[in-house]
Structure 1
Amino acid sequence: MTFPGLQHVAITVSDLQRSTDWYAKLFGADPVLDEDEEGGEFHHTVFALDGGMLFGLHTHQGRESKDTFDERRTGLDHVGFALPDSASLEQWGKKLDELGVQHGGIKKAHYGSGISFRDPDGIALEFFIAPGT
């Protein structure tokens, strides 16, 4: 039996409208779902990405911790988005510039290359290509 790939990622945000607007610009698409969870525990806004992957934004009806994101804390370190090649990585760097999103430029390592940036809550994101692509 093979281990399954990721189907979705959901992150908790402090301001749902601000994050929805920001991610809609980044993804170039509107959410496909925006509703309260049936038990009333959280609200989720979900984007459909290529390859069947879903990316969700959650609020917990005012019960969020109010802590700021810190990748050094146990939990999420960052979310990486796969790109096919270095040309795509360069294009996304330009797109981030157009959107006014600060980033660290293309960083190259033996395990691959990427561009790191943060969302409005400071959640670490990355565009990444495997080595040799």
Structure 2
Amino acid sequence: MTEFPPLTHVALTVRDVDVSARWYEALLDARPVIDEDTDPDMHHTVYLLGGGTLLGLHQHQQRTSDRFSEFRVGLDHVAFGCADRGELEKWSRRLDELGIEHGGIKDAAYGSGLAFRDPDGIALEFFAPPAQG
């Protein structure tokens, strides 16, 4: 068997794609590479992240009013990789500038993380490996 393939995209279901798109555009400082209805029952907006990974926002015609919960079976959170803790500190300041609440940088033996949530409560994180040395 060859090496396991890399992750190419993550698709998140959102309640209101217009609200979420504005929020993600501010966070990512990017415009979508795809913004279309794929059929009468779904709209999707897709952003290109570093490393060629795609982040998609899907709004289904059939949907629930439930907010995201990492305690339900399925997705726990999405983490974006940072080179080091210094980069996390920059993202912490950027989140503050955007008015996005976060839990501050938490350090652990396995690395450091900066947790926050999108408008639907989807758990997101910036993560950096532990310092070497």
Give the TM-score normalised by the residue count of structure 1. 0.95
Aligned to 1:45: 45
Letter of the 1:22 counterpart = W
Measured against aligned partners, the alpha-carbon deviations of 1:75-127 in whole angstroms (never above 9, x if no partner) come to: 01000000111111100000000000000000001111010000000000000
Q: Aligned Cα RMSD in Å?
A: 1.0
The answer to whether structure 1 residue 5 and structure 2 residue 2 are counterparts is no
Gaps of 5+ in 1: none
How far residue 64 of structure 1 moved from its aligned partner, in angstroms, is 1.0
How far residue 53 of structure 1 moved from its aligned partner, in angstroms, is 0.5
Aligned to 1:14: 15
The 1-side partners of 2:10 and 2:102 are apart by 21
How far residue 65 of structure 1 moved from its aligned partner, in angstroms, is 2.1
Aligned to 2:107: 108
The 1-side partners of 2:90 and 2:100 are apart by 14
The 2-side partners of 1:66 and 1:12 are apart by 12
The answer to whether structure 1 residue 24 and structure 2 residue 25 are counterparts is yes
The 2-side partners of 1:7 and 1:23 are apart by 18
The answer to whether structure 1 residue 89 and structure 2 residue 65 are counterparts is no
How far residue 71 of structure 1 moved from its aligned partner, in angstroms, is 0.2
Measured against aligned partners, the alpha-carbon deviations of 1:42-80 in whole angstroms (never above 9, x if no partner) come to: 21000001110000000112x112221110000010000
Aligned to 1:98: 97
User: Secondary structure of 2:69's partner?
Assistant: coil
Runs of 4+ with >4 A deviation: none
Contact 2:84 2:130 (C-alpha < 8 Å) held by counterparts:
no
The 2-side partners of 1:70 and 1:50 are apart by 27
In the alignment of these two chains, the number of paired residues is 131
